[in-house]
Amino acid sequence: MTSLKMAPPQSAGPSDPLTQMNKYRSYVTILADSSAKDEIKVKAAQELSENFEASMKRFWDIIAKSVNIKLCGIQCHIV
């Protein structure tokens, strides 16, 4: 494996999906790199964890809104 200079991971933040996926891939690459410093690996793991938690919250918010919209539609047809 070629040794790349590893910069500390940056927060993905609100950006396009391709950029986010590339950042997540870089975090996974850092975690798999045996020559990466532990501090960098910890930061990468924290970023992945935080972004996963935020993504899951958004996912469940979307599901809840979708269910509410569907229930509203069903109620409108019943009345």
For the chain, domain boundaries: 17-78
Q: For the segment 34-75, what is each residue's pLDDT rounded down to a tens digit?
A: 999 999 999 999 988 888 887 788 888 889 888 888 888 777
pLDDT for 9: 56
Cβ(9)–Cβ(30) below 8 Å = yes
- What are the tens digits of pLDDT across the range 6-15? 555 555 455 6
CA 55 remoteness from chain centre: 5
**Which bin fits 42, alpha (ψ -120 to 50), beta or left (φ > 0)?**
alpha
